[in-house]
Each structure stands twice: as C-alpha cells, then as structure tokens.
A and B are shown apart, each in its own frame.
Chain A
Amino acid sequence: DVKVTQSSRYLVKRTGEKVFLECVQDMDHENMFWYRQDPGLGLRLIYFSYDVKMKEKGDIPEGYSVSREKKERFSLILESASTNQTSMYLCASSLRGSMDTQYFGPGTRLTVL
C-alpha cells in the first residue's frame, strides 16, 4: 500500500515564526502536492512538484515556498507564519500527473496564534 506520512498531526505556531511541514511518500512517485483545506473553500493547491528540485505554483502560492531535494520528500515552508495561514494542510503524491490517483497523507492542522 502507498503510504504518505506528514510530520505532525497538530501544530501550533506564533505569528512571524518560520514553519516547516514535511511530507514523505514511500512509493517512488514522481508527483507530490501540497493543499490547504478550509471550511467552505474545499481543497486548494498551493504547490506541486513533478520531479526532484522541480516545482510549480498552484492556485494559492503566496506566503509559501516548497523544497524537494529528494524524490520521497516534499516540504512546505511558511517563511513568516500569519494567522490567515491557520488551516488543515494536506500532502499528496501520485505516480504520474493528474490522470493518476492521488494518495493523501493524514493532514496537519496548523494553528497560527
């Protein structure tokens, strides 16, 4: 079975802190994705990566950056956390592109105070 893990289930940070969210997949997938999920807004894509060191902006990249130094690991970075970044963050991976099933991690619920 594909397994996607995220470093934390719950995280509380203060405004202005630098925040790292880590995601690891064990199925040698090419593509990895970061979404945020907010009530009434569904899932919105922040960034995705189709290969090591490659990244593409999604719908809402502002305030975020990403890093993919190894194929299995995709990190989401909040350079200076703000309260409007309080959300559920979901990582996913897929073997190829959008034609494929995406496998999701359990999510990280981030609260920025």
Chain B
Amino acid sequence: SQQGEEDPQALSIQEGENATMNCSYKTSINNLQWYRQNSGRGLVHLILIRSNEREKHSGRLRVTLDTSKKSSSLLITASRAADTASYFCATDGPGGNMLTFGGGTRLMVKP
C-alpha cells in the first residue's frame, strides 16, 4: 500500500499562477521528499524536509510539513510551462530503509 497519497491527482493552471500539491501519509516518518518526473523520464529530487522542520524553501518551491496531520504541501510559485511534470512525495516509512512513493500529481502549466 502507498504510504504517501498526493492530492489532487491532476492540476491544470496558467503560466504565472501558483500550484499547490498536497501529500498525506499514514505512519510516522523521519523525512519527506518531493520529486519531479518529466514525461517518460526518471525522477529528479526537488527537496527534502525532516520531521523536525515545518517549512523549507528552494527557489520557487516552498514545502511545508505538518506531522500532527501527517501531511505536506508543495507550492510552486509563478509557474512556468517548463514546470509541467508529475510530482511525487516520498516518505521513509516505518522500516526506515526504503522510500515509499505516492501516486503523484500531474501538473500542466499552460503558456
């Protein structure tokens, strides 16, 4: 079963708008990571947030983590057509050795 579940499954916005994707998970974690995947390619790491952190920024990306609600959000500000991709959250789950990925959010940014 998937540890992380992204919401929404698909999102379509205009260039320049902000995009927010959410991730919920079931069990306690040490860290949560976000990855991006362009169509038909491998995943690229975006950002890692540890369980004792609440917010992290990287360029136009802002990630928040609420361990009490077992949820995280990824905000992409001032989106560009090049941001069109699928975005996945991944958690290290109960075992600690493996990452478990959610089903992803497909983001389309229209020029």
- Asked if A99 CB lies within 8 Å of chain B CBs, one says yes
Q: Contacts A48-B97, A97-B97, A101-B48: A42 and B42 contacting too (C-beta < 8 A)?
A: no
Q: Hey, what's the 0/1 contact readout for A47-74 against B, CB within 8 Å counting as 1?
A: 0101000001011000000000000000
Asked if B101 and A98 sit within 8 Å, CB to CB, the answer is no
- Asked if A45 CB lies within 8 Å of chain B CBs, one says yes
Asked if B98 and A90 sit within 8 Å, CB to CB, the answer is no
With the chains together, A59 CA to B103 CA distance in Å? 15
| Chain B nearest CB, measured from A51 CB (Å) | 12
| Chain A nearest CB, measured from B48 CB (Å) | 6
Which residues from 71 to 103 on chain B have a C-beta closer than 8 Å to any C-beta of chain A? Answer: 88, 90, 92-93, 96-103
Chain B, residue nearest A90 (CB): B42
Q: What 7 A-B pairs have minimum CB-CB distances, sorted nearest first?
A: A104-B42, A98-B92, A43-B101, A42-B103, A101-B45, A104-B43, A106-B42
Asked if A106 and B41 sit within 8 Å, CB to CB, the answer is yes
B interface SS class: loop
Partner of A58, one of B35, B98, B104: B98
Contacting residues, chain A, for B14 (C-beta < 8 A): none
Chain A, residue nearest B99 (CB): A98
Interface residue total, chain B, C-beta cutoff 8 A: 25
Asked if B96 and A97 sit within 8 Å, CB to CB, the answer is yes
Contacting residues, chain A, for B22 (C-beta < 8 A): none
- Asked if A41 CB lies within 8 Å of chain B CBs, one says yes
Asked if B103 and A98 sit within 8 Å, CB to CB, the answer is no
With the chains together, A42 CA to B104 CA distance in Å? 7
Asked if B97 and A43 sit within 8 Å, CB to CB, the answer is no
Q: Contacts A56-B97, A98-B98: A107 and B44 contacting too (C-beta < 8 A)?
A: no
Asked if B97 and A107 sit within 8 Å, CB to CB, the answer is no
- Asked if A4 CB lies within 8 Å of chain B CBs, one says yes
Contacting residues, chain B, for A56 (C-beta < 8 A): 97
